[in-house]
Structure formats: C-alpha cells, structure tokens
Amino acid sequence: MRGLIYALSICAVIGLAFWAYGSGYGTRALERQVARLERDIGTRHQELSMLRAEWAYLNRPDRLHELAEMNFELLGLVPLSADHFAQTDQVAYPATTGPRELGFDWASRALETEIDGVIVMNHRPGEERDPVAPPAPARDGEQLP
C-alpha cells in the first residue's frame, strides 16, 4: 500500500513537473509571440502614419487646386459660390406624364392574374412607351448615345 502511494506520488510529481515546465515554455512562447505582434503593430502603425502623411500631402489644397485646373475641361470644377444653392422647388424633376395621355389602354388590360393564390404580373414596365430606336453606330464605328 505504502509503495503504491509512493509510486503514485512520484508519478504525480513527475507529471506536475512536466505540466509546469510545459506551461512555462508555453508562456514564454506566447510572450515572444506577443512581443512579435506588438512589434508588428508598431511597424504597421508607423506605416499607417506614413501613409496618412502621404495622403495628406497628396490631398493638399494647392495640389488639388492645380489638378482641378488641369482637368477643368473634363471636370469643370469651380469654387463653391452662392449660386450653387437652390430652393427645392427650383429642382427640375422629370416630367410626370400620365400613362393615359400616351394613349395606352390601361382599362382593358388585366395587369395581374392570380394563379393558385400567387399574383403574376402580366405587364412589363415600359411596355406602354413608344419603342426607341437602338443607338446607331457612327461612321467611325463609335457608338453614339
């Protein structure tokens, strides 16, 4: 009996020693990993601050002003002025012409039918409009709007 207890406790000591050493090594490995990650974060932060500085430098007002002037024909950017403000009722909304005016007979058409409790649309949106001619290719082959 006593021998068994001795053997068990020795085994327990050995096992605990393994566990303790294992934990110690694990901790140290984790610490190294944390340190590496922190260094990594530090580098990334430095890169980030460098990029931020570069972004600020590339977006400096002087450069943007020059770019806007260089690309004026393309973009037509001008300084914001009081003329650019408008009342909402000054905004030109697309003309709302009723479908009846277009001569499309809505009354005689069933726009939807119910089949087995499912409503199916019979009407394709835009069907009532006059067909638009497809854009013709220009002489040099370029598509005109």
Partner 1 sequence: MRLPFSRRRVVATDPFVPVTPTVAPPRSAPVRENPEKTRRRAERRIKFTAICFVFGFSVIGAKMGAISASEAHEPATGGLAGAGIVSERADITDREGRVLATNVSATALYAQPHKMVDPAAAAEGLASVFPGMDAETWARRFTSGSKFYWLKGNISPEQQQAVFDLGEPGLLFGRREMRVYPNGPLAAHVLGGARYGEQDVRAAEIRGVAGVEAVFDEYLGDPAREGAPLRLSLDLSVQTAVERVLASGMDLMGAKGAAAILMDARTGEIVSMASLPDFDPNDRPQILVEGDRGDDPLFNRAVQGVYELGSTFKIFAVAQSLELGLTNAATMIDTSGPLRVNRFPIRDFHDYGPRLSVTDVIVESSNRGTARMALDIGAARQQAFLESLGFFAPTPVELTEAPGAKPIVPTRWPDITTATVSYGHGLSASPLHLATAYASLLGGGTRVTPTILARETPPEPGPRIVAPRVSAEARHMLRQVVTRGTASLAEVEGYRVGGKTGTADKPSPTGGYYNDKVITTFAGVFPAQDPAYVLVVTLDEPEIEAAGEARRTAGWTAVPVAAEIVRRIAPLLGLRPDFDAGSEAFGAYLASATGQ
Q: Is 3 in the site for partner 1 (CB under 8 A)?
A: no
Task: Give the pair of three-digit tokens for residue 106.
Answer: 């809505």
Cα 26 to Cα 45: distance, rounded to the nearest angstrom: 28
| Binding track over 72-91 against partner 1, x by CB under 8 A | -------xxxx-xx------
Strand, coil or helix: 121: strand
| Alpha helices (runs of H) in the chain, residue ranges in sequence order | 2-58, 61-70, 72-75
Binds partner 1 by CB under 8 A, chosen from 49, 71, 113, 122:
49
Q: Is 25 left (phi over 0), alpha (psi -120 to 50) or beta?
A: alpha
Closest approach, Cβ 41 to partner 1, in A, equals 6
- Contacts to partner 1 by CB under 8 A: 31, 34-35, 38-39, 41-43, 45-46, 49-50, 52-53, 55-57, 59-62, 65, 79-82, 84-85
